[in-house]
Each structure stands twice: as C-alpha cells, then as structure tokens.
Structure 1
Amino acid sequence: MARFSPRSPGVVGEGRGATVGGVSDLFAAAAEERLRAQAPLAARLRPKNLDDVVGQTHLVGSGKPLRRLVEQDRLTSAIFWGPPGTGKTTLALAVAGSTKRAFEQLSAVTAGVKDVREVIERARHRLGEHGRGTILFLDEIHRFSKAQQDALLPAVEDGTLTLIGATTENPFFEVNPPLRSRSTLFRLEPLAKADIETLIARGLQAEGRDATAEAVAHLADRAGGDGRQVLTALEVACALAHPGRVELEHVEAALGTSALRYGRDDHYD
C-alpha cells in the first residue's frame, strides 16, 4: 500500500524562551510551552509570518497586495472576508508577526465598547511612549452593533490602531459604511486541494506520524477548502491510529466526528 510521509517544513508555535526576569519567567515560559503542546493541532500549526501561510497566494504571494502593504509597513485597517476555515485568524497573526506592531485580539461575540476603549487606550500609550503601533484583530466583526463599530472609528481614522476585522458575512451589508470605507477589503478563498495536502503534511509532521496515500487523498477530497476542519479531523485520525500510521479507516472514522460541510450559519455565499 502506498504511503505518504510529510515533507513540508513544520510550522510550530512562537517558541519563546525564558526572559531575563528570573525564576518566575522560567516558570511562565515552561507553562507556555506546556499549553502550546496541548493546544489543538490547528492552533499549533498557525504560522508566525506571511512566508509560512498556506494558500491565499492572491493576497500573500510575491508582489501581491497584502504582502506588499505589510512589507512596506503601509497596512491600514482591513477586513478579511471569507468562509470558515480559510485562515482569517491565521492570516491576521501572520501579518502581525511580519511587522513590529503589537497585536491585540477581541471577539465581537464577547467584547463590548468597554473592551474596545481599553484596547484603544493601550494603543495610544504604546504609540506615545514607545512609538509602536498596534494591530487589533476583531473576530466576527459583523456581530458588533452599529454603536460598537462606531466606537472604533476615531482610533482607526487617526491611526492609533490598525483594525483587522474578520467576517464570514458580506461586509457591504454587515460592516458600517464609515468603518468599511476606511478599510481595505481582502477576500479569502477556500483552500485549494494542493494547499490542503500541504496542511496535512505539516500536521502529520507535527504529530510525528505518516499516513497512507489513500488516507491523505480521502481527507483532502472531503476538505471542502476548510483548513481548520481538516486539521481537526487529522488530529482525531492520528489519535485513532496511535501509535501506528494513519490508514483510510482512521480518516473515515474521524470524518464522522467532524463538520466538514458548511452549515446554515455560513452565509458567505
């Protein structure tokens, strides 16, 4: 039976070591390493910079719009728009890792105006005291009310912070016109099969496993362009196969536990 072994370079966490702060920093670093090791596979594989991003080459390929803006440190506020699992959060983290700006993250599901104002205040302090800009990644920005979105406007307009909003909804309907007009829209596409295969290879490498070609092909065929769900299914398949290689039967069983088809809450189309 044909076998598939990962050949692509792995993408791991930030890998921070201890700082000069003493014993407490050593404990903090050790705790961070343990947390990272226990994180879901999709989280462990998140890239640190644009070069590690899988897919979205129309945005991050050589000479493409988003890459050029980041490389020239001219990125203003942006909206990442696309289906689930296309890497909106991943891309925001990679953008932050490719710049010298600080990174803050909020979810519109749980955050309110108070949280936004606190981020803006920290961004002002950071810019004034250290001359360092701030990227605010706001996941599911479409869930913010008009008043909540309006609270971001002054800081976005004067450059206190760079907003990156992520949404599965059409921003022309769900993002307030004043905020949208101050943001560049970047549309993320479902991952191509070759990109999915690259993710699978990296996932297998991170798990220290190999897999049959049949198992990989079946998983890639069922992915539907959703990188996060394919890595979730792969992680389950690796657990089922432990300690051996991943076979087709493991992938089929794992897919039975994974929602790889878009549901009614996905309004991207």
Structure 2
Amino acid sequence: MKEESLRLFLTLKEGSNLQGSLWEDEPLAIKVRPKTLEEFIGQEHILSDGTPLREAILNDKLYSAILYGPPGSGKTSLAEIIKHYTKKPFKHLSAANQGVGDLKPVIEEASELFKRTGNPTILFVDEIHRFNKSQQDTLLQSVESGSVILIGATTENPSFEINPALLSRCRVFVFKPFSKENIIEIIKRAIKTEEIGFDSESIEMIAQLSGGDARMALNMVQEALVWAKNRKIDSISSSQIESILQRSIPRYRKHADEHYDFISALHKSMRGSDPDAAVYYLAKMLEAGEDPLYIARRIVRFASEDIGLADPKALSIAVDAYQASHFIGMPECTTALAEAVIYCAVAPKSNAVYVAYIKAAREARDNPFEEVPLKIRNAPTALMKEMGYSKDYVYPHDVEGAFIVENYMPERLKGRVFYNPTDRGLESRIKEKLQNLWKGFKRWEEKN
C-alpha cells in the first residue's frame, strides 16, 4: 500500500491524470482553479481592489509582466483568469517542454494580426526561466513592437534568469507563498461539494504541511479523498491524514512562534559550540519546509557576527552554502547547510567585529558632522592641493615595513579604539600585531 500511495502522490504532484480505478477525474488543483478575480484567494498585495494589476485585468489593458513566486502560489491560475477577462487572442506556452519551434509560429501569427488589426496577442509563457538567452531574445522584438503582450511565470529570480533587455520591458509582480489561512480557505472550497468530510484539524494539518503551496495542498486533499473512497469512508480525521500521507506532522510552524524559536535555537547552539544541537535544529526546520535560503542568510550573519576574524573562513563557507542552496535547492542543499552549521559551531568565537561596528555606528550617529582630516583627503585638482588636501600624507609603501604611525581619525577621536580583538583563533595573532604596531598611540585598555 505504501508504494501505491507514493505512486499516486507523485502522479498528482506532476499534475497528470491517474488512470484506473483509484481516480479517474482530472487533478483537483485544475478542477477547482478559479475562473474570476472574485474567486482568486490570496495575493492581496497585488490583486486587491484598486491595485494596478487588478485594474489592468478588469479593463483589458494589460501590459507585459513577469509573475515571480514559489510553486503553487497562483501564477498559472492568474493567467487563466486573464484569459477569461481579455478579448484579445490568448496563447499559452510552457518553456519546460516547448522551444523556438513552437514559439516562432505564435510570434509570426501575432505579428500578422497586429499589422492587420492593431490588436496585440497575449502570450503566457509558463516557466519562462527555462528559455535560454536566444529563446528569450526571440520574444524581445515582439514585445518591443507591441504585437505581443508577454506574461511570463517563473519560480526563479527574474534579475538572474530573464534577459535584462526583456526584463526592462516588463513589470514584475512578486507572488508570496499562500498564508495558512489562504490554504485553509482553498481547501474548504475544494471539498465543498465532496461527499467525504474533513474535520478542522485535518484541514489545518494539510495547510501546515503544504508550506504555502496551494497545488501541493490540493494534491494531498485528493490523495486523502482517493484513500477514503476506496474504503467507503465518509469522513477523514487528523490521525488518518498523517497515516495517508505517510509522514508525521512536524512540530514546527514556519509562520508562527516556532519559526523564531528554532532559528534562535540554531544560533545559540552554534554560538555555544554544540554542533550536534545545531545540526538537529537545522534538520528540524528544513524537514518542516523552512526556506533553505532564509536559514543560509542567518548562517552568513552568524559567521560575521559571532565568529568574525577569529576564523574568517567561516564567512566564506557560509556564503558558499548560500550559493549552493540557491543553485540546487532542496533536498540536495541540506548537506551544504549542515557543513556550514557544523563548521560555525566548532569554529573559535568572537563578536569583536560586531561590537566594533556597533561602537563606530553609534559614534557616527552621535556626531554626523565630523570631517575627514585634510591630510587623508583626496587631492585630484590644484585647488584642492592649495587648500591643504593630502598635505604631509606619507604613502606607507614608501617606508620600511609599509607602516608608519599616523592619525587617520578626526582629531577628537585620535587614538580611539573600536575593534578589540579577542585571544581566540586568528584574532590572537591580529591582536598581537595591532598592539605592536600602535603601541603608545592607541588606547588598547578600552574594553568591549
């Protein structure tokens, strides 16, 4: 039964129709797709009353746009709604399985129509980021001429995946993961006409597991309906949902207090040099569906704030983990994040860089009009030299050891220390070097 359940789930996840006795209808996510703006749930920040995108759709005055957001956030559904409202020709291509051979006839037809009638064609390209540079260039001239109004949907950042020339001719609308409340509303609407009932806790569990992905939530609902219909059961409980989906409900909610509790636990475990606790909290968040890039950003911050120059390599490893997470996504990025977390946990700790910036920032805010000493100002013109810019400045590379004791601070701050290295890791050597170089000039007795 477990293999059969997995096969069903994968088939539904791909959005295809499972033939046979288990389920003969079209996927639920397609069956209940909204047809009007009134039926569309969520994305209020771009589709509420009076917003430019909503007005453009209602008035059939749409412009080229990129719909950017995570899977299951309603991008394709909105395109179908646009098709419902517009009187213009509407074409739909998927960059995942169609190429220039499919694109060119559409563009040529749109160009001919535009020449005859002046009417543009709306072209919806799903997963537009899968088109390479030359394929995207094919769209550019048609968008520029006005014969095509391009609506591109992508899960990838348009800044990196869409040609700049094409992107500059499009408005970008950012779709967010659906809120838990949005998903619950979508589920309730989907099961409204079903004979099989779901209790409120089971609906909440599915919403929680979906991670804001409406398609995933509806696929899970459909899997539960199949399970119940095969057993002639007329209601589904929360305990049955856990059994049907073959996974436990994580004790972690991305958008509630646990979100902050677990990231705090990860930080404190790394700060406390406990790699086991740190990798546990990392796994807890990732397995519950947390965004790996969010975690990666927090690790980067930790490496500079809590390790700093005690081990500068920690920041490089953290940034590498972020890049790896961006390139390959889940679940392949889990080990890159684990490597960064464990490295940060076992690295020597210092918050001296963090404290140095806090002190310097406070000084900058408290005295915003402090001027740069004339000696270290740039002097690109004769007038500036006459005014004393760069006068008496000594180029360190011209002296032995490439160092000379000099005051680079405003006079009021002469000898002031913001950065106090610790005795841990590389900073112990940095501390010794600085104290030898600036002995008698800087007040190293100042404490953090």
Same fold (TM over 0.5): yes
**Structure 1 239/249 Cα, relative in aligned 2: closer, same or farther at 3 Å?**
farther
Tell me if structure 2 keeps the 8 A contact 1:84–1:266: no
Residue in structure 1 matched with residue 105 of structure 2 by the alignment: 118
1:47 match: secondary structure:
coil
- Per-residue Cα deviation, 1:78-113 (whole angstroms, up to 9, x for no partner): 101011111111111112212212221111122221
| Distance in 2 between residues matched to 1:171 and 1:255, nearest whole Å | 34
1:105 match: secondary structure:
strand
- Per-residue Cα deviation, 1:164-223 (whole angstroms, up to 9, x for no partner): 111111101110001000000000000011110111111112434321112112112222
| Distance in 1 between residues matched to 2:104 and 2:184, nearest whole Å | 42
Question: Is residue 65 of structure 2 the alignment partner of residue 78 of structure 1?
Answer: yes
Question: Is residue 240 of structure 2 the alignment partner of residue 253 of structure 1?
Answer: no
Letter in 1 for 2:178: L
1:222 match: secondary structure:
helix
In the alignment, which of 125, 143, 158 is matched to residue 171 of structure 1? 158
| Distance in 1 between residues matched to 2:40 and 2:114, nearest whole Å | 28
Equivalent residues in 2 for 1:214-225, closer than 5 Å = 214-225=201-212
Tell me if structure 2 keeps the 8 A contact 1:50–1:98: no
In the alignment, which of 95, 114, 118 is matched to residue 82 of structure 2? 95
Residue in structure 2 matched with residue 235 of structure 1 by the alignment: 222
Post-superposition offset of 1:41: 0.1
| Distance in 1 between residues matched to 2:240 and 2:227, nearest whole Å | 6
- Per-residue Cα deviation, 1:203-249 (whole angstroms, up to 9, x for no partner): 11243432111211211222211100000000001111224112223
Coordinate RMSD, CA, aligned: 2.4
Tell me if structure 2 keeps the 8 A contact 1:168–1:266: no
Tell me if structure 1 keeps the 8 A contact 2:196–2:228: no
Residue in structure 1 matched with residue 187 of structure 2 by the alignment: 200
Equivalent residues in 2 for 1:33-182, closer than 5 Å = 38-127=25-114, 132-182=119-169
1:162 match: secondary structure:
strand
Of structures 1 and 2, the one scoring higher in RCO (CA 8 A, sep 6+) is 1
| Distance in 2 between residues matched to 1:253 and 1:147, nearest whole Å | 48
1:136 match: secondary structure:
strand
| Distance in 2 between residues matched to 1:260 and 1:38, nearest whole Å | 30
- Per-residue Cα deviation, 1:13-64 (whole angstroms, up to 9, x for no partner): xxxxxxxxxxxxxxxxxxxxxxxx8210001111112221111111111011
Higher strand residue share: 1
| Distance in 2 between residues matched to 1:149 and 1:186, nearest whole Å | 19
Post-superposition offset of 1:266: 4.7
Letter in 2 for 1:251: I
1:123 match: secondary structure:
helix
Letter in 1 for 2:204: A
| Distance in 2 between residues matched to 1:120 and 1:208, nearest whole Å | 46
Letter in 1 for 2:245: L
Which stretch shows the higher mean deviation, 63-72 or 129-138? 129-138
Higher helix residue share: 2
**Structure 1 237/127 Cα, relative in aligned 2: closer, same or farther at 3 Å?**
same
| Distance in 1 between residues matched to 2:188 and 2:115, nearest whole Å | 44
Q: Which has the larger radius of gyration?
A: 2
**Structure 1 260/184 Cα, relative in aligned 2: closer, same or farther at 3 Å?**
farther
| Distance in 1 between residues matched to 2:197 and 2:155, nearest whole Å | 33
Residue in structure 2 matched with residue 4 of structure 1 by the alignment: none
| Distance in 2 between residues matched to 1:254 and 1:89, nearest whole Å | 28
**Structure 1 252/170 Cα, relative in aligned 2: closer, same or farther at 3 Å?**
same
| Distance in 2 between residues matched to 1:119 and 1:100, nearest whole Å | 17
Q: TM-score, normalised by structure 1?
A: 0.78
Residue in structure 1 matched with residue 390 of structure 2 by the alignment: none
| Distance in 1 between residues matched to 2:190 and 2:126, nearest whole Å | 24
| Distance in 1 between residues matched to 2:110 and 2:193, nearest whole Å | 35
Post-superposition offset of 1:135: 1.6
**Structure 1 146/131 Cα, relative in aligned 2: closer, same or farther at 3 Å?**
same
1:151 match: secondary structure:
helix
Tell me if structure 1 keeps the 8 A contact 2:119–2:147: no
| Distance in 1 between residues matched to 2:237 and 2:62, nearest whole Å | 44
